[in-house]
Amino acid sequence: MRKRAFGVAAGAGVVLAVAGGGIAVATGGDDGPASHQYTQKQADAATKAALEATGGGRANSVETDSENGATYEVEVTKPNGSTVDVRLDDAYHVVVIEGDSEDAGGN
């Protein structure tokens, strides 16, 4: 019986590790917990605004941000494959779109 309980516990650990890895990939390169001070509703609104501003693409991460007077930063891979950081104010208006530092040709 102990063997089976251990197997279930080990399996749960693997699931948690995989889930944790997914989160790390989705938010890779962020500034840590301090950059995640938002609700899911705010993250969804920021993502929607960023994707509208870039003409579509894929949102890679959302962070709170204060650069250039922004409140949110959404990293977006645009349809052409380049990656940009879309900075938005607290009303989800674009402050600036910059090439991502990891992708020099981002604009």
Would you list the domain boundaries of the chain?
1-30, 34-107
Please tell me what DSSP assigns to residue 31: -
Closest C-alpha among 95, 104, 100 to residue 66: 95
pLDDT given at position 91: 97
Give the chain's mean pLDDT: 73
Q: Which has the higher per-residue pLDDT, 100 or 16? A: 100
Banded model confidence at residue 1, pLDDT cuts 50, 70, 90: very low
CATH fold label, 34-107: SHC Adaptor Protein (3.30.505)
Q: Collect all residues with Cβ–Cβ distance below 8 Å to 11 and sequence separation of at least 6.
A: none
Banded model confidence at residue 101, pLDDT cuts 50, 70, 90: low
pLDDT digits (tens, 9 = 90+) for 21-66: 322 223 345 556 655 678 999 999 999 999 999 999 999 999 998 8
6 pLDDT higher than 50: no
CA–CA distance, 82 with 103 (Å, rounded to integer) = 7
